[in-house]
Amino acid sequence: MSYAILTLETLPAYIRSKAAELPAWFDSSATLEINELSDGNLNAVYRVSSNTASLIVKQGLPYLRVAGEAWPLSAARAGFEALALEWQHRLARGSVPEPYLFDQSMCVNIVEDLRGYQVARQPMIDRLEIAGLGSSIGGFLAQTLFGTSDFGLAAGDKKRLQAQFCNTELCEITEDLIFTEPFEAVLLDGKPNRNHFDAGIKPALETMQSNAALRLEVARLKHRFMTAGQALLHGDLHTGSIMVSDSGDLRVIDPEFAFYGPMGFDVGVFLANLYLNAIAQRGHAPNELESRAYQTYLLGEARACWDAFSSGFAAQMLTANSVSWRNAGFTDAILLEVLRDACGFAGCEMIRRSVGFAHVLDVDSIADAQTRVTVLERNLHLGSRLISQRQRIETYNDLETIIVEALT
């Protein structure tokens, strides 16, 4: 079948045509109910229900959904998502939706319906304490990053897997939107600058953009993002890529940005989204006491993430595939490198979510304009510090100290 955009009308026939490849418990011959769930930036997403069972159908569209046909994008990314999901499911079963079917020609992934789960971002804006958030994500990262690294995979297998993840288009989005545009007032190189920001942040933004030392460090982080093929990353691990059930079960979704990059990128993007929420709470919590309480919760989860990642990673390093790696000193050195990278990438994520193309609801939904500007200024200030001071970090305590200072 050649590619065609699925619609509410064409989906039932499509699903029936795939019946043989779908799980046996899904009866596609019954009446199918289709609900469109699309709320991300890149894809069309549907829930297909039959009797008591349901599936999620996600189709890559040939353009960026939020921008429409003006931003063409190859639907090939559905293949990167399928392959990444397969690896994450193998290495960290239960941390991602179970994949059922990938249809290359239609750019469709059919996966487990996480019914009763919700995206973590909004409940976290509402200060819901998700038990085990940090340790779950840290454990997921320990499994997926070690398991796809040169420590967990044989050298040839890793190089072949890396070559498969030639995810040029989605990497370029990250390169432009995280590492380039937020640091430029006008963008050269014949490309538009897609930044948008609250007018009140303009003076702080201009000061940041004219900081030559900071711009140099951001260029180094961008080069590291583009060259350090350490492990298969999720590539976009913010709190909108995490779903949580009422019982507190967590799943990581949407790995279409997956590629081989520096391990600290996934760690840093996740931590940054906790820090962004923490700073934004002054604009959401009814009083300082509640704001502080949730910030304390978030700091604990951030630390739990690092602890679970670093201990899970170190435990696996004892069984690493070469005598070169099975050395406690080497594990410590790699973990410190990941921590410093995470610190720098977290800084870039905080800045781009404040002034770049794609913001976070944590900040944008702050009703009071003056508070919003204060939060944005703090984001730029903390982000800049994380980038500039990352090489002085020796332990997670040092990073936490910087965050605590930014919250007081």
Binding site for its own copies (CB under 8 A): 150, 155-156, 158-160, 162-164, 166-169, 171-172, 175, 179-180, 183-184, 187-189, 212-213, 215-216, 218-220, 222-223, 226-230, 321-325, 327, 329-330, 333-334
The answer to whether the beta carbons of residues 58 and 78 sit under 8 Å apart is: yes
Q: Which C-beta is closer to its own copies: that of 167 or that of 241?
A: 167
Q: Kindly report the length of the chain.
A: 408
Shortest distance (Å) from residue 380 CB to its own copies: 18
Burial code (b: 16+ CB inside 10 Å, e: under 16) for 159-195 equals eeebeebebebbbebbebbbbbbbbeeeeeeeeebeb
Cβ neighbours of residue 178 under 8 Å, at least 6 residues apart? Answer: 225, 348, 349, 352, 356
Q: Which C-beta is closer to its own copies: that of 164 or that of 207?
A: 164
Distance CA 94, CA 22 (A): 19
Q: CA nearest 262: which of 199, 190, 335, 209? A: 335
The answer to whether the beta carbons of residues 152 and 273 sit under 8 Å apart is: no
The answer to whether the beta carbons of residues 380 and 363 sit under 8 Å apart is: no
Q: Which C-beta is closer to its own copies: that of 147 or that of 283?
A: 147
Shortest distance (Å) from residue 333 CB to its own copies: 6
The number of beta carbons lying within 10 Å of the beta carbon of residue 213 is 10
Measure CA 365 to chain center: 20
Q: Which C-beta is closer to its own copies: that of 252 or that of 334?
A: 334
Shortest distance (Å) from residue 159 CB to its own copies: 5
Cβ neighbours of residue 319 under 8 Å, at least 6 residues apart? Answer: 326
Shortest distance (Å) from residue 85 CB to its own copies: 20
Residue labelled with tokens 């193309």: 357
Shortest distance (Å) from residue 90 CB to its own copies: 21
Q: Which C-beta is closer to its own copies: that of 95 or that of 174?
A: 174
Q: Which C-beta is closer to its own copies: that of 62 or that of 94?
A: 62
Q: Which C-beta is closer to its own copies: that of 86 or that of 175?
A: 175
Shortest distance (Å) from residue 293 CB to its own copies: 40
Q: Which residues pair with 231 in a beta bridge?
A: 261
Q: Which C-beta is closer to its own copies: that of 139 or that of 182?
A: 182
Six token digits for residue 353: 């979510």
The phi, psi pair for 245, rounded to 5°, reads -95, 170
Q: Which C-beta is closer to its own copies: that of 190 or that of 286?
A: 190
Shortest distance (Å) from residue 214 CB to its own copies: 11
Distance CA 343, CA 81 (A): 26
Shortest distance (Å) from residue 150 CB to its own copies: 5
The answer to whether the beta carbons of residues 59 and 5 sit under 8 Å apart is: yes
Shortest distance (Å) from residue 375 CB to its own copies: 27
